[in-house]
Structure 1
Amino acid sequence: MNSLEKSTEKVAGELFDRELWIHLGELILKIFIILVVASIVIRIGRATIRNVFKVRAKSPIRVSERRENTLLKLLENVLTYLIYFIALITILSSLNIDVKGLLAGAGIVGLAVGFGAQSLVRDIISGFFIIFEDQFSVGDYVGVGKFMGTVDEIGLRTTKIKSWTGEVHILPNGNITEVTNYSINNSISVVDINIPYEQNIERAEEIIEELLEGLQDKYEEIINKPELLGVQKLGTSDIQLRIIAETVPMMHWYIARAIRKEVKQTLDQHGIHAPFPKLVMYSRNNEEVRGE
């Protein structure tokens, strides 16, 4: 029997070795069980975190809802990373891999790589300060550079901002240097109403003032009674009146549209209609005739 036949027989013997297949089956079963247990632990952990935050929401002493949503997302992400890391270490141990040596080597390699991963470290540190200083939270409407939208998620490395048209912008935390947060303080609705010159301006103001008296009770988003500031501008064919209303954060657009509709309907009921541009035409021939 030549060497090739001996090698083939040896390989065939190993492939049909019952103990080998039993050992492989046990390893696959262990890995499967570890992944299933990790998935279950993550689900239980997330449910526990949510329940804790629900209990905190009912307590008299609590932080803002914005901050709680941010911390909830962050804790869920940290829990997921931690459980999967433990699962990976357990799987490696099941494969008889020296985990201690691997971690020691990874520490040395990580130290070397760290000098070239300064941007990653900067992103993580920036993410920590964004959360710690409460610069913005999940659900806030913010402007970051050329992007504007609602904060969908804040992670340790990146922040996701969803624009009102549906696009999701993923920004490294280290690149977020200037942020405009529109959700912290109350907003102001600004509404301009045009009244024709031939209408009684004082009468129009009285009608609008009477309307504004009841808007705060009709729209819960309005904080204080809307205010009619008066004449804002004199146009070529109309007089512009300005109304302002303080609203809860980010509801000024909705309230502005509602006020325009209410004012339009009220003015129509009192016979005050929207102005239309007027065009005066002169005939040169007529002027010459009149001039004569």
Structure 2
Amino acid sequence: MNLLFLSNVLADKIQNFLATDQLNTFLINAGFKIVSVILILVIMSIVRKLGKNMIKKAFAVNIERIQKVTGGTERRKETFESLALNIWRYAVNIVLILWLLSVFVSLDKLLVASSALVVVIGFAAKSMLDDITMGFFIIFEDLFSVGDFIEIDGNTGTVTEIGLRSVKIRVLTGEIVIIPNGNIGKVINHSVSNGQAVLDIGIAYEADLDKAISVLQKVASEAFNQYDDILQVPQVLGVQELADSAVVIRMIAEVSPLQQWHIQRELRRLIKLTFDRENIEIPYSKMMVYQKNEGSPSHE
């Protein structure tokens, strides 16, 4: 009986709702909110794109002035451009979220809720604040910039983006590694100074040591004349180690930034070809097999 009574009451209320102006008011409010959300999304999408294009044009047109302000280098200009785009993206997203919420919540309640939310975030998001703080230190102290080849905690690659919260690095295998700014510890930057190509060349103990050093000095002189990235004539420092199966000679060369690996490969190629012509033996692993010859068994 109670269930039937409740059903009748609910049916009466639904009928009254459909028969009055409440339905029209509800549909009008719902339609207004849907249209408002669509318009907000369209407007903010246009604003985001316009702002992004304006930032890129500003950095492209005023290159000389911006480079003078940011330290006079292309890498710094790209870094500040990346930061400006990152800040713009955050600002647009925050405004978009607040604007969408204002469609469903009154402005007074939204401001009160936002204030309380800021307090909660301030206590709960310490790591985020650490990331943002470290991001500003990275940029303004010029620890590294967009386009630099760096190494962070075992991740080696080219910096593609520096944001307020994270750094993106494209590693040698092509993947993008995202590292929170607050987690960045030791950084090795290979792009800010000349590189050093270091080669340890092993020769056999039977080889003529003085001849090998003389040949390496000749190779160093030829390589300096052949490669513009070698800034000074490579130096043959002498015997670095008396290893188990080789006499190790060290050669070093000062090269342009990021060119040390390329020059090392080229020097090894030239040294191998020259050693072959000069009959200087490069040791390699060998295996000696001894076979015991036993006499044939005697027959009685």
Separation in 2 of the partners of 1:100 and 1:74?
33
Separation in 2 of the partners of 1:131 and 1:16?
57
Contact 1:14 1:20 in 2 (8 A): no
Separation in 1 of the partners of 2:254 and 2:88?
41
Separation in 1 of the partners of 2:20 and 2:166?
49
Give the CA deviation at 1:32.
2.0
Letter of the 2:80 counterpart? L
For 1:243, which of 232, 251, 261 is the aligned residue? 251
Q: 1:199 to 1:144 in 2, by over 3 A?
A: closer
Residue 91 of structure 1 is matched in structure 2 by: 100
Residue 35 of structure 1 is matched in structure 2 by: 41
Q: What's the Cα RMSD here?
A: 3.4
For 1:52, which of 55, 58, 83 is the aligned residue? 58
Contact 1:138 1:151 in 2 (8 A): yes
Give the CA deviation at 1:72.
1.8
Q: 1:6 to 1:44 in 2, by over 3 A?
A: same
Q: Mean Cα displacement is larger for which, 98-107 or 20-29?
A: 20-29
Structure 1 SS opposite 2:46:
helix
| 1:87-143 deviations in Å (ceiling 9; x for gaps) | 3333344x2632244124322442254234333322222222222211222333334
TM-score normalised to structure 1 length = 0.78
Letter of the 2:15 counterpart? E
Residue 191 of structure 1 is matched in structure 2 by: 199
Aligned length: 281
Show structure 2 runs of 5+ residues with no match: 1-7, 291-300
Show structure 1 runs of 5+ residues with no match: 283-292
Give the CA deviation at 1:149.
4.1
| 1:219-260 deviations in Å (ceiling 9; x for gaps) | 343332322222323345543222111123333222211210
Separation in 2 of the partners of 1:82 and 1:179?
29
Contact 1:89 1:99 in 2 (8 A): no
Contact 1:185 1:249 in 2 (8 A): yes
Give the CA deviation at 1:264.
0.9
Structure 1 SS opposite 2:167:
strand
Q: 1:232 to 1:207 in 2, by over 3 A?
A: same
For 2:88, which of 68, 71, 79 is the aligned residue? 79
Structure 2 SS opposite 1:10:
helix
Residue 131 of structure 2 is matched in structure 1 by: 123
Give the CA deviation at 1:168.
4.5
Separation in 1 of the partners of 2:256 and 2:17?
75
Separation in 2 of the partners of 1:263 and 1:145?
34
